């Protein structure tokens, strides 16, 4: 907490002394340049330290482990990881952008409701959909049982416990990331330009292809990047499907051979994949930067679909929602009812209130910290030294590409190291900053979840044209005033999206809270884990439902907002 506030203070103290400096740089130089740059650098250092604590092991490579891994698992893991990432990226882009286009550009029965309902799967943690999928359509689930009854024991059925099954599951849970950003871009950026193109005589198809597509491309690329990071660092879900990825390999070395150093070395491969994804995102975005200089136009005029096409459109939406959300939730509800009626009941249900309160507390802390830092960083890119701030922002976003447990151990090592440093000069860390304190937990969450918040805030600020910033500055506003009175109000939608993305991610997060939490501080996902880790999936139904229910609140809020016309 204190660090974040302090960071803001550093920024706000600065403007006065440098205010009169003449404008020399490409950007809006002048007030607050040092302050903004410094704030961005501090954020980057705070995120980088715990990751570097572990990455340092690469300096003394464990040659024999690498050799052994290359000879055995690594080639397969690299191949699986690549296929999984490409599959999920393609799947979420097609599904996310496609659905965004479908509900924005067409009218069909239910299109308005589907517009917000399609975000719902965001509330479903992938680890829950993982075990639900397997226990429903997996080899021993009711679907295949029925299939075998009909067609005999050896009847062919697609292999669910496979790379393909994992790709489909991830796609169903994560397409909303792309969908959300694509829809926001369609509404905020593309609608005005689309209208202009149509006025200038472009056909509908031409305007869509030549105007809308390039304008939406950065948002889709950003969404795909988030999806790739989430998939890359996942460990629980891929294990359900028996898919051996690099992350699985890292855990196998860490938990199975107790070799943390070698595990973190292999984990650098995960980082390499992440860097590759970020690089690809930059390429996909292109050099273009689109800002909205006028108020949004009337929007893309939706075409009314009739007959077979309308049925097809409605059918697609219904099927998608059934598979990604309604079906799984129904299955959980049935299990939960069954468990409540049985003698065992759901364990620890009497502590539900505590779990809920702890989860909410953690989510609020994380959102406050992440959004504050994201806003500072996004503004710093406009006001600070371009190279340094851009570099800092990239570093800050890297935390998302590091698996949760790796972040958690890194944070413990960093805190213990800091404590020792203080100890040398005779000081002691106060209890609140010890490992296993809520503060440290939030710090780890911030390291991990700054990226999704930052992505959303950045894309929001990207929409504010340079001229607007320049006008405010010319009229004598300090950088801080510009940020607060011009940028913030103009990026309200993006801030809301960022809040929801970070909040839902923080609510669903499991490995960090499992490893770093204080005594007695159990959250809803911990409750699910404790049951699921002993394969008590049916007893985990009620806890799982409660996570989904809580996540639905912000998702519904965002959905309502999305449906309104003005940003």
**Closer to other proteins by Cβ: residue 292 or 435:** 435
Q: How far is CA 351 from CA 346, 348, 476, 553, in A?
A: 11, 6, 55, 21
**Closer to other proteins by Cβ: residue 223 or 511:** 511
Q: Rounded to the nearest whole angstrom, what is the least distance from the CB of residue 8 to other proteins in the complex? A: 11
Residue corresponding to tokens 């965002």: 558
Alpha carbon distance 488, 382 (integer Å): 13
In 3-state terms, what secondary structure has residue 62?
coil
**Closer to other proteins by Cβ: residue 93 or 439:** 439
**Closer to other proteins by Cβ: residue 117 or 132:** 132
Q: Rounded to the nearest whole angstrom, what is the least distance from the CB of residue 353 to other proteins in the complex? A: 16
Q: How far is CA 48 from CA 51, 275, 441, in A?
A: 5, 15, 16
**Closer to other proteins by Cβ: residue 185 or 540:** 540
Can you list the pairs that 133-138 forms with residues at least 24 positions away whose Cβ atoms lie under 8 Å? 133/160, 133/165, 133/169, 133/240, 133/328, 134/160, 134/161, 134/240, 134/241, 135/537, 136/327, 136/328, 136/331
Neighbours of 275 (CB within 10 A): 13
DSSP letter (8 states) at residue 256: I
Q: Rounded to the nearest whole angstrom, what is the least distance from the CB of residue 409 to other proteins in the complex? A: 6
Q: Rounded to the nearest whole angstrom, what is the least distance from the CB of residue 502 to other proteins in the complex? A: 16
**Closer to other proteins by Cβ: residue 350 or 566:** 350
**Closer to other proteins by Cβ: residue 31 or 405:** 405
**CB within 8 Å of 42: residues ≥ 6 apart:** 7, 10
Q: Rounded to the nearest whole angstrom, what is the least distance from the CB of residue 195 to other proteins in the complex? A: 37
Residues 180 and 497 sit within 8 Å (Cβ to Cβ): yes
**Closer to other proteins by Cβ: residue 71 or 387:** 71
Q: Rounded to the nearest whole angstrom, what is the least distance from the CB of residue 424 to other proteins in the complex? A: 15
Q: Rounded to the nearest whole angstrom, what is the least distance from the CB of residue 342 to other proteins in the complex? A: 8
Q: Rounded to the nearest whole angstrom, what is the least distance from the CB of residue 257 to other proteins in the complex? A: 4
In 3-state terms, what secondary structure has residue 294?
coil
Q: Rounded to the nearest whole angstrom, what is the least distance from the CB of residue 272 to other proteins in the complex? A: 21
Q: Rounded to the nearest whole angstrom, what is the least distance from the CB of residue 531 to other proteins in the complex? A: 8
End-to-end CA distance of the chain: 30
**Closer to other proteins by Cβ: residue 111 or 523:** 523
Alpha carbon distance 461, 289 (integer Å): 11
Q: Rounded to the nearest whole angstrom, what is the least distance from the CB of residue 49 to other proteins in the complex? A: 14
Alpha carbon distance 134, 169 (integer Å): 10
DSSP states along 147-200: HHHHH-TT-----SSSHHHHHHHHHHHHHHHHHHHHHHHIIIIIHHHHHHHHHT
> For the stretch 90-102, what's the b/e string if a residue is b when 16 or more beta carbons lie within 10 angstroms of its beta carbon?
ebbbebbbebbbb
Residue corresponding to tokens 């990331």: 177
Alpha carbon distance 208, 507 (integer Å): 37
Q: Rounded to the nearest whole angstrom, what is the least distance from the CB of residue 24 to other proteins in the complex? A: 31
Q: Classify residue 523 as left (phi > 0), alpha (psi -120 to 50) or beta.
A: beta
For helices 163-185 and 492-508, the axis angle rounded to 10 degrees is 160
**Closer to other proteins by Cβ: residue 70 or 90:** 70
Neighbours of 178 (CB within 10 A): 30
Residue corresponding to tokens 């009337």: 298
**Closer to other proteins by Cβ: residue 474 or 533:** 533
**Closer to other proteins by Cβ: residue 69 or 104:** 69
Q: Rounded to the nearest whole angstrom, what is the least distance from the CB of residue 521 to other proteins in the complex? A: 7
CA dihedral sign of residues 327, 226, 465, 7: positive
In 3-state terms, what secondary structure has residue 484?
helix
**Closer to other proteins by Cβ: residue 149 or 563:** 149
């Amino acid at each position: 907490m204190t660090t974040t506030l302090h960071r803001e203070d550093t920024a706000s103290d600065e403007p006065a002394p440098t205010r009169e400096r003449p404008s020399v740089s490409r950007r809006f130089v002048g007030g607050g340049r040092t302050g903004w740059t410094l704030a961005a650098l501090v954020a980057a250092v705070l995120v980088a330290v715990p990751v570097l604590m572990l990455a340092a092991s690469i300096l003394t490579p464990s040659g024999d482990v690498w050799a052994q891994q290359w000879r055995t698992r690594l080639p397969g893991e690299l191949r699986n990881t690549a296929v999984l990432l490409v599959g999920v990226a393609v799947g979420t882009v097609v599904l996310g952008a496609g659905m965004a286009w479908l509900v924005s550009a067409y009218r069909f029965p239910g299109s308005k409701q589907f517009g917000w309902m399609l975000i719902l799967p965001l509330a479903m943690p992938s680890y829950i959909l993982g075990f639900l999928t397997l226990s429903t359509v997996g080899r021993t689930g009711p679907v295949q049982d029925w299939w075998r009854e009909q067609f005999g024991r050896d009847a062919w059925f697609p292999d669910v416990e496979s790379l393909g099954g994992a790709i489909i599951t991830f796609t169903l849970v994560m397409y909303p990331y792309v969908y959300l950003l694509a829809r926001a871009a369609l509404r905020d950026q593309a609608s005005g330009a689309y209208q202009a193109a149509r006025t200038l005589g472009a056909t509908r198809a031409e305007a869509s292809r030549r105007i809308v597509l390039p304008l939406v491309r950065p948002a889709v690329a950003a969404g795909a990047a988030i999806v790739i990071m989430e998939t890359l660092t996942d460990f629980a879900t891929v294990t359900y499907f028996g898919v051996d990825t690099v992350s699985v390999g890292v855990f196998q070395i860490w938990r199975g051979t107790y070799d943390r150093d070698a595990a973190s070395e292999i984990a650098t491969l995960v980082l390499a994949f992440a860097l590759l994804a970020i690089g690809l995102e930059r390429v996909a975005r292109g050099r273009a930067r689109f800002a909205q200089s006028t108020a949004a136009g009337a929007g893309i005029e939706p075409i009314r679909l009739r007959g077979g096409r309308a049925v097809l459109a409605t059918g697609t939406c219904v099927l998608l929602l059934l598979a990604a959300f309604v079906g799984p939730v129904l299955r959980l509800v049935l299990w939960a009812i069954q468990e409540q009626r049985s003698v065992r009941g759901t364990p620890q249900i009497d502590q539900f209130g505590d779990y809920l309160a702890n989860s909410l507390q953690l989510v609020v802390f994380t959102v406050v910290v992440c959004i504050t830092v994201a806003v500072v960083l996004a503004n710093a890119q406009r006001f600070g030294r371009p190279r340094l701030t851009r570099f800092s922002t990239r570093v800050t976003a890297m935390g998302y590409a590091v698996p949760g447990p790796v972040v958690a151990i890194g944070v413990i090592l960093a805190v213990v190291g800091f404590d020792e440093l203080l100890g040398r000069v005779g000081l002691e860390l106060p209890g609140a900053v010890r490992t296993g304190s809520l503060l440290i937990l939030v710090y780890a969450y911030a390291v991990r979840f700054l990226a999704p918040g930052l992505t959303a805030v950045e894309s929001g600020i990207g929409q504010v044209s340079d001229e607007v910033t320049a006008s405010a500055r010319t009229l004598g506003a300090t950088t801080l005033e510009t940020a607060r009175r011009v940028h913030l109000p103009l990026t309200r939608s993006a801030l809301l999206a960022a809040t929801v993305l970070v909040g839902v991610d923080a609510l669903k997060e499991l490995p960090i809270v499992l490893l770093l939490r204080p005594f007695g501080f159990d959250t809803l996902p911990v409750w699910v884990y404790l049951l699921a880790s002993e394969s008590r999936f049916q007893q985990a139904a009620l806890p799982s439902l409660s996570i989904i229910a809580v996540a639905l609140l912000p998702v519904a809020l965002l959905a309502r907002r999305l449906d309104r016309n003005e940003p």
